[in-house]
Amino acid sequence: MSPDTTLEPATARRLRDESLTDSWLSARLGVDKGRLDAMRRNGELIGVRLDGSTTWRYPAWQFAAGKPRAVVPAIVREARARGLDETRLYEVMTMRMGLGGTRRLADLLVDGEDEAVLAGIRSSSPRQ
C-alpha cells in the first residue's frame, strides 16, 4: 500500500489529533521503530504518513489496552484486497457513515463491532 497519498486538510488535522507518532508508540510499546514499520508492512498495524512527512502516524482507535486490536490484520487484509492504500483506509475508517451520520467505522471498531467494520471495508473502493 502506498504511504504517499495526500489527505484533505480536515482529514490530515483529524489524523494528527487522533494518532500516535512512531516515536511515541515505539516508547509506549517498548519496541523499536523498525519493528513498528515491519508490523505495518505485514498488515499488523494501520499507519499513515502526512504528505511530505517521514513520520508514521498510527491511529489510536486501532489499540486497546496498549495492544493492537485483534481485528486490525483482517481490516488491513480486506483493504489491501480491495486496492485501498493506507491513506484511503484511514479515510474510510474515519468518514461519517450515512447521510448526516455521526458514527464512523473507527467508532464501531472501538465498540467491538468487528464484523460491521469489515463489511464497511468490503463495500469501499479505492480512490478514483
For the entire predicted model, the pTM comes to 0.89
What does the mean pLDDT of the chain come to?
91
Low-confidence ranges of the chain (pLDDT < 70): 1-5, 128
Residue from 8, 80, 82, 14 nearest 51 by CA: 8
Q: What is the pLDDT of residue 1?
A: 41
The domain locations on the chain are 9-122
